[in-house]
């Protein structure tokens, strides 16, 4: 695919248009995003995220970047762990998602060690070697230039710091793969229509998952971005994978 073209779901679009199209999707679904996450994953997304936190090795005093952090699920847990001597930056490219996250966490009393930053993963507005841990959960597949974003994340990690990418991936079981396809392309848009009155955004989400690199490809991309000891852990038969890499 040429440099000035990219995928938006199954469509081929101009690279400079994708960011805006993805933004429209998340402006549309932001208010009901958490409800839909619970419905779509039958609540299992909470277990995937808990496993990510366990694998992150976050400790009191750490500086954490929760990228594409949206409504703040991970940020909330990290803020508790790092405590007053640490800090969490909740960053999202989408202002609607960021506002929902900030309002939600502020209402729940999470103030003091959380910052909110509107940021593009491809060119993060942070100094080199800033973070002990970076997580990006269900966000990388929406980024236009994933290689550039991974290099940007590696740059702002401290030496010895860890990047964790939680993302939908390629099911390892053929039966699961068939069932998952059927569910994604029929049930998801239907639920999207019912809950958010927006079937098209959930059709895009299903398609974007299919266009995302598989487990081994993403692992190689992380290595190419300069990370070492890269590995992945499949969950729910590979429907979701957690990739982990360390900055040397």
Q: Is 92 annotated as a binding residue?
A: yes
- The residues spanned by each domain of the chain are 5-173+202-246
The string of pLDDT tens digits covering residues 191-213 is 878 877 777 877 877 788 888 99
Instruction: Work out the pLDDT band at 214, boundaries 50, 70, 90.
Output: very high
pLDDT above 90 for 248: yes
The string of pLDDT tens digits covering residues 165-177 is 999 999 999 999 9
By 3-state DSSP, what share of the chain in percent is helix, strand and coil, each rounded to 5? 50, 25, 25
CA distance 54 to 5: 38
Instruction: Work out the pLDDT band at 5, boundaries 50, 70, 90.
Output: confident
Contact 147, 225 (CB under 8 A): yes
- Coil, strand or helix: which one is 97? helix
Spell out the CATH class of 5-173+202-246: alpha beta
Contact 49, 55 (CB under 8 A): no
Q: Which of 46-60, 88-102, 180-194 has the lowest mean pLDDT?
A: 180-194
* Greater model confidence, 181 or 39: 181
- At 16 the pLDDT is 77
| Predicted TM-score (pTM) above 0.85 | yes
Determine what percent of the chain is predicted with pLDDT higher than 70: 91
CA-based nearest residue to 78, from 153, 36, 134, 138: 134
Q: Is 120 annotated as a binding residue?
A: yes
């Amino acid at each position: 695919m040429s440099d000035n073209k990219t995928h938006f779901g199954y469509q081929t679009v101009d690279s400079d248009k994708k960011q805006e199209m993805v933004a429209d999707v998340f402006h549309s679904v932001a208010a009901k995003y958490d409800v839909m996450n619970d419905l779509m994953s039958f609540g299992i997304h909470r277990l995937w995220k808990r496993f990510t936190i366990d694998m992150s090795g976050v400790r009191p005093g750490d500086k954490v970047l929760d990228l594409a952090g949206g409504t703040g699920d991970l940020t909330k847990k990290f803020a508790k762990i790092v405590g007053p001597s640490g800090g969490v930056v909740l960053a999202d490219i989408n202002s609607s998602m960021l506002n929902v996250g900030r309002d939600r966490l502020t209402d729940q009393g999470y103030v003091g060690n959380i910052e909110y930053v509107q940021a593009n993963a491809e060119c993060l507005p942070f100094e080199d070697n800033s973070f002990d841990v970076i997580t990006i959960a269900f966000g990388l597949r929406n980024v236009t230039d994933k290689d550039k974003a991974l290099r940007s994340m590696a740059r702002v990690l401290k030496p010895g710091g860890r990047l964790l990418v939680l993302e939908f991936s390629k099911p390892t079981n053929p039966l699961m793969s068939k069932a998952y396809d059927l569910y994604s392309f029929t049930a998801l848009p239907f639920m999207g229509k019912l809950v958010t009155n927006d079937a098209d955004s959930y059709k895009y989400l299903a398609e974007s998952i299919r266009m995302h690199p598989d487990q081994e490809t993403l692992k190689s991309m992380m290595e190419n971005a300069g990370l070492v000891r890269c590995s992945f852990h499949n969950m729910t038969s590979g429907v979701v994978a957690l990739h982990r890499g360390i900055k040397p």
